[in-house]
Amino acid sequence: MPNLVALDDVAKSLVNNLRRFRNPLGLSIDKLTEWSKGLSFDNASDTYLYTGGLYQMIPYINSLIDGMNRLEGSIPGGIGMVKLLERFGFNVSSFYSSVTAKETARYNVIITNLYSLLKKEGINFGYLGDEEIYSGVILYDLGLDDEFGEIARQLAKKLKEKRVAKLITMDPHSTFILRSIYPKYVEGFDVEIVHYMELLKADKHKRDKDTSKIFSIHDPCLLARNLDLSQRYRDFAESLGLKIAEPLMSKRHTYCCGGPIENIAPRVSNSIAKNRCTQLAKLGSNALVACPICLSNLGRACKDRMNVYDLLEMV
């Protein structure tokens, strides 16, 4: 089997990127803040919107995983990649060859949609913009506790500087890590963490039901099991006029999209995602998720069988 990517290579690359660029993929800051161009924020507010950067990273994650799959021989076309790595060594950012403006636009819209929903409810909030720091969740998941702690303290310091008392989060991973893990790593961390589903009132965004499309609802693991938001997620989807159907493993018993190990073992990750697609596709050709990791991983694995949408794309 050709060139299986070693754990240390992935880990080192992520850590180095985080230290240099404040995000694990080594993206330039403007790619993470592009969505906010022309929008106004109240940075004097004690409430901030925290994107965590995950939605913005999706096209680059897709490109990275595609590259890793080529390199590891899971899909053809890895020879050029091997040569590149021999010359420059492993860095996840060597893989972003094919990201198009259309792709980045799709994921930026998800964030601006949330922005509009918050505004519509009259919520006042700031945004850290180019000072926003990634939460470090991937380091925590890899067991890199020291490096994670370093990032956590940086972000906590930044929030303190800006006198942020409350963060509105938009993905389950950042929400969980900030709410449940940060207090264990940052002394006195007391920023209130609120996921948008906990904050927004579903009935304020009511739309007529479109019964022509059925969405198989996929519960993101952390959203269902750690944040206990399965019901709110459904309430939201319903009020947005979506007709939803329940797959075999759902709510607290949901089946993971495979995404969390996509950078460790992309081929295993993809097999898991394909299994989930089979379960979801039994109910129709559209799937609903509410997590950037699920959106990326299921989006890639299911693309021949179904369209995968994030809840925030449906508003």
Partner 1 sequence: MKRSFIEVKKAMYSALEDTYMRTGVGRGMQNYAEKYEGIFSREDVQQLKREVSELRRHVLKNIEQLYKQAIESLTKNGVYAYYAKTRQDALSILDKIIQPHELVVKSKSLVGEEIGVRDFLRLRGNEVWETDLGEFIIQLKNEKPAQMVAPALHIPREEVAALFEKQFNKKFSPDDLEGMVATARNFLRDKIARADTGITGANAISAREGTVVTVENEGNIRLTMTMPRKHVVLSSVEKVYPSTVDCVKAALTQSYFAGYDKPTYVSLTSTPSGTGDIEKVMVRPAQGSKEMYVILLDNGRLDAASSFLSDGLRCIKCGACQLVCPVFSVDGPAWGGDTYTAAIGIVWTAIVEGVDSAKPLSYFCLSCNACNEVCPADIDISGTIRLLKSSKVK
Which positions lie near partner 1, rule CB under 8 A? 1, 4, 6-7, 72, 140-145, 221-222, 225-226, 248-249, 252-256, 258-261, 264-265, 267-268, 271-272, 275-276
User: Closest CB to partner 1 among 38 and 143?
Assistant: 143
CB of 141 to partner 1, least distance (A): 5
Q: Length of the chain, please?
A: 315
CB of 33 to partner 1, least distance (A): 29
Nearest to 197 by CA among 298, 46, 311: 311
User: Closest CB to partner 1 among 159 and 227?
Assistant: 227
**Are 77 and 117 contacting, i.e. CB atoms less than 8 angstroms apart?**
no
User: Closest CB to partner 1 among 234 and 276?
Assistant: 276
User: Closest CB to partner 1 among 21 and 255?
Assistant: 255
Cα angle 272, 175, 226 (rounded to 5 degrees) comes to 60
Task: Give the C-alpha separation, 305 to 301, whole Å.
Answer: 9
CB of 47 to partner 1, least distance (A): 29
* Residue 314 DSSP code: -
CB of 271 to partner 1, least distance (A): 4
C-alpha pair distances (Å), 285 with each of 206, 208, 212, 278, 282: 24, 21, 12, 11, 8
User: Closest CB to partner 1 among 82 and 261?
Assistant: 261
CB of 260 to partner 1, least distance (A): 4
Strands 166-169 and 286-289: unpaired
At residue 49, what is the residue type? L
Task: Give the C-alpha separation, 95 to 315, whole Å.
Answer: 32
CB of 220 to partner 1, least distance (A): 9
Q: 287 φ, ψ to 5°?
A: -120, 150
Within 10 Å of residue 37's Cβ, how many Cβ atoms? 9
User: Closest CB to partner 1 among 112 and 226?
Assistant: 226
